[in-house]
Chain A
Amino acid sequence: MKDIIKMLLFVIIMGTILSTAIVGVDSWTSPLIAKNNEIKIKTSVLKALGLEYTKDTIELVFSNKITTKDAVINDNQVKLYYSPDNTVAFQYQGAGLWGDIIGILAVNAQEDSISRVSIFQQEETPGLGSRIGDDAYLNQYIGKVFDPEISSKASSEKSKVDVITGATLSSEAFIKILNEEYSKYKNLLKGVK
């Protein structure tokens, strides 16, 4: 009996101390992490809309050049980002191979074409699937047309995108996410000029 009480006491004390340490670290790093995330989204928006920026001018370029509008899709609040030349971008999200892939997709809604796409969060295998986030891969999406979808097997060059060798599943998951997300935003974007 005495042993059990000792054991319980030990676990409770140890648990309390470690939890306190974690809560402490969490409250210390949370503002920094939130700030990093905000910068990540802004950088991704600027990248997707093809605007020039440097590490120090992200905030400035964003506030000067981007117009943000709120909209509602399927009862969800979403944000639309407009560049000075009226290209529109939005945040997409969907399941990759291991975790969610989140990024910004900029489109020309009148032509159903991709202006540019960027990724700011993914959990694909480092060095393999994670390469879908490289510019070298994402650049091939520029100008591709949702007709009605983009695909790695499309017969027309206009809608065909390549997958990465050794990262087929991540690439296919990414293509699927873009198709699904664009079909959600399509009508809204076409209606809004």
Chain B
Amino acid sequence: MAESRKSKKAFETFINGVWKDHPVFSMLLGICSALALSNKVENAIAMGAGVTFVLLATAILISGLRKIIPNRIRMIVFMITIASFVIIVDRFLKAYFPDIAASIGAYVGLIITNCIIMGRAEAFYVQNNTGLSIIDALANGFAYTYTLVSIAAIREILGFGTLLGMNVIPPWWPFEKAPWVVMTMAPGAFFLLSLFIWISRSISKMESE
């Protein structure tokens, strides 16, 4: 009985992360980086992986220490934890993936200010055990990544005419190849992201009715 309740809770945590409490669609967290880094799929994957790693590491550390973190300084503790892991991701990318590090450059440092991580630490990791926190981190990281990648796929095809850097516009295409410059810029991301939020909210509404 206890077993099944446990696995039900784990399942719920996962579904909440990837759909019901989707960090970008329903909580509108991490929007800045979702807008800025979703114009090329390659950048979106790297950013998604970076955020997921930092989420996971923060989840493990914060939930593990949740009973001894002094309540009054918990925010500062979250901050230094997140900052440390971000520095580690940054160094790792620079050492092993210099090309990706060069193309997403400044945004890696900005993972520190990605509200998804701070938000989940405050709302979940500091109150739940490590197992559930890991599931929550993976769910939220996955949700953030699939959002970024799906927006990036549309923007990259429409804006650059490529997907993961490969040309995808067929040779018989009669118009100018990938001329939709607005898709490569921030306004294009705004249009798409709001469209995504609209669709996902409508589906959620239908589900609950």
Contacts and interface: CB of A to CB of B under 8 A. Distances in A.
Interface of A: 3, 6-7, 10-11, 14-15, 18-19, 21-22, 25-26, 29, 32-33, 36, 40, 98-99, 121-123, 125-128, 130, 165-166
Contact of B80 (A15, A40, A128): A15
B69 interface: yes
B43 A98 contact: no
Contact of B88 (A15, A21, A127, A165): A21
A128 B40 CA distance: 11
Contacts of A7: 70, 72-73
A126 B77 CA distance: 31
Given A126-B104, A127-B184, A22 B84 contact: yes
Counting from the closest, the 8 A-B pairs by CB-CB distance are A127-B39, A29-B95, A32-B95, A18-B84, A29-B91, A36-B98, A7-B70, A123-B105
A29 B91 CA distance: 7
A15 B84 CA distance: 10
Given A33-B91, A127-B159, 18 more contacts: A10-B68, A11-B73, A14-B81, A15-B80, A18-B81, A21-B88, A22-B84, A22-B88, A25-B87, A32-B96, A33-B94, A36-B98, A123-B105, A125-B36, A126-B43, A126-B104, A127-B40, A166-B185
Contacts of A18: 80-81, 84
B91 A130 contact: no
Given A10-B69, A18-B80, A126 B88 contact: no
A166 B72 CA distance: 46
User: Is chain B's interface secondary structure helix, strand, loop, or mixed overall?
Assistant: helix
Contacts of B81: 14, 18
A21 B104 CA distance: 24
A166 B159 CA distance: 12
Given A126-B36, A126-B40, A99 B181 contact: no
Interface string B48-81: 0000000000000000000011101100110011
Contacts of A14: 77, 80-81
Interface in B79-111: 80-81, 84, 87-88, 91-92, 94-96, 98, 102-107
B interface, how many residues as a size bin? 20 to 34
A33 to B, nearest CB: 5
Residue picked from A21, A26, A121, A166, most chain B C-beta under 10 Å: A166
B34 to A, nearest CB: 13
A122 to B, nearest CB: 8
B43 A127 contact: yes
B138 interface: no
Contacts of B72: 7
Contact of A36 (B92, B94, B105, B159): B94
B24 interface: no
Nearest to A24: B88
A147 to B, nearest CB: 31
Interface string B134-165: 00000000000000000000000001000000
B115 to A, nearest CB: 20
Interface string B22-35: 00000000000000
Contacts of A165: 181
B72 to A, nearest CB: 7
Contacts of A29: 91-92, 94-95
A21 B84 contact: yes
Contact of A25 (B39, B68, B91): B91
B121 interface: no
B164 to A, nearest CB: 14
